[in-house]
Structure 1
Amino acid sequence: MTHTLTGPRFPIYKSSPELYEAMMALSTAAAKDVEPELGELIKIRASQMNRCAFCLDMHTRDARKLGVSDQKIDVLAAWTEAGDLFTAREQAALALTESLTVLGDHGVPEDVYAVAADAFTQRELGQVIAMAVTINAWNRINAAVQTPPPRR
């Protein structure tokens, strides 16, 4: 039996407002000391990988409002092929985000972690990790209840 998306399965954030509040608190905490533009790239990349249309819609719009170029947003799914379009810090954060989004049998590869640890202070690295973990949680919640993007 297949399920056709006609809307959310149930309004999880209305049914469980504590969940929404906790996720918002985690999102706010994770965003501290991370450049907003970098944060949006992290959120978009994880959301692409997790196929979360709701989050992709939200974070691509937010990124554009912050001045992230259309080109960066357009090629983000293939950032490793984009030459120097992305900064070293962005590349380190994106590689770490991808590793955290699809954890293999051995977790985050040592080389990915080492590049990120060189690109960020310990505080920043913790925040980047927290941001990737947080957007993955949002993506999984929205996937479970099939939250569609709002119609514009």
Structure 2
Amino acid sequence: MTRTQLLDPKVGRAMSALSTAAKQGLGDPVLAELVMIRASQINHCAFCLDMHLRAARKAGESEDRVQLLDAWEETEDLYSERERAALALTEAVTVLTEGFVPDEVYDRAAGHFTEAELAHLIALITVINGWNRLMVSRRVPPGGYLP
């Protein structure tokens, strides 16, 4: 087995099932892609960035929003308050070096999502971080994703 393969196909299927469930429960495919792109940017996962940038564009996301996602906090008019709350939560969950997710970040997201949506959003953030870690640790190169 090469480094570019997943450790076990069962792991890939389980992760895919969690990804699908989280995205469906969130109900907004464009927001889901923005969240997965942002986490993948933070984690430097070229494979996942390539995949989710393509998926976002296919879902109708604009080039401006995709290209400026890394600086979303500075582009107030480009993303909705709901999207901004989701992106802030994505960053807080992805980078847990300070300890816990700050209450104000969680509360901000909770103000824009139902309890069920918030649970799915957190699951989506968790699973993309898992995918990022799998792909980065295995050095899976971009461009190999086939939908």
Structure 1 stretches of 4+ with a deviation exceeding 4 A read: none
Q: Are 2:14 and 1:16 aligned?
A: no
Q: Which runs of 5+ in 2 are unaligned?
A: none
Map residues 1-150 of structure 1 onto 2, 5 A cutoff: 9-12=3-6, 15-34=7-26, 35-150=28-143
TM-score (norm: length of structure 1): 0.90
Over the aligned positions, Cα root-mean-square deviation in angstroms equals 1.5
Deviation at 1:29, TM superposition (A): 1.2
Local SS of the residue matching 2:126: helix
TM-score (norm: length of structure 2): 0.93
* Bigger mean CA deviation after superposition, 72-81 or 104-113: 104-113
Q: Which runs of 5+ in 1 are unaligned?
A: 1-7
Counterpart of 1:121, as a letter, is T
Aligned residues: 143
CA distance in 1, matches of 2:5, 2:81: 40
